[in-house]
Amino acid sequence: MTKFKVLPHKLCIFDFDDTLATTDAKIKITNKKLVFSTKEFADYHPTVEDVLDLSDFENGKLINPQPTNFLITEFKSIIDGNTDVMILTARPDTGGIKEFLSAWVDPSHLIIVGGRRGATGKELADLKKNAILERIDKYENILFFDDSITNIKAVDSINNPKIKTRLVKKP
């Protein structure tokens, strides 16, 4: 008798900031004295001269976290008790995210992958893409949700029929 390895059915992958939650964390361009919310920074195109201060995102604490409408209205209908939930975030310290999501996700099904300190833009998109590539053979279906078109395009470039992407509207 031949034994087949049964793959877990579904992995749902979510970005954290502005997809599942908003916070009062700010991105600062110190040499230009600019301060952005995550939503505002999405429309900013940093230059090589910009000196980024991402300290609000690097200490593991969430500043005034609030669930997005997507988290409140759609998240529970996407996942079920057997779904593994992965969070791909630019935040290098993910302790606050795990604590925040414990109200919505069974911790035994939660995987959180933090980014590299200072990662933004294409580098962050590539980090997310590579995290998915590392796990692609472990699941039958992978659903990816993000508020960044750059991240969606990076994951779409994997070009695998197991992966479905969805751009989530910014809060």
Read off the pLDDT of residues 130-157 as tens digits, 9 standing for 90 and up.
999 999 999 989 999 999 898 999 999 9
pLDDT-derived band at 2 (thresholds 50, 70, 90) equals: low
Q: Report the pLDDT averaged over residues 42-57.
A: 87
pLDDT value, residue 82? 79
Residue 115, pLDDT above cutoff 80? no
Residue 11 host element (H or E): strand 10-15
pLDDT value, residue 118? 60
Residue 48, pLDDT above cutoff 80? yes
Bridge partners of residue 107, in order along the sequence = none
pLDDT value, residue 41? 85
Q: Report the pLDDT averaged over residues 88-104.
A: 90
> Are 160 and 136 in contact, with CB atoms under 8 Å apart?
yes
The span from the CA of 116 to the CA of 137, in Å, is: 24
Residue 125, pLDDT above cutoff 90? no
pLDDT value, residue 120? 64
What is the 8-class DSSP label of residue 57?
G
Let me know the angle formed at the C-alpha of 164 by 155 and 58, rounded to the nearest 5 degrees: 45
Closest CA to 150 of 167, 134, 133: 167
pLDDT-derived band at 3 (thresholds 50, 70, 90) equals: low
Annotation: CATH topology of 10-24+62-167: Rossmann fold (3.40.50)
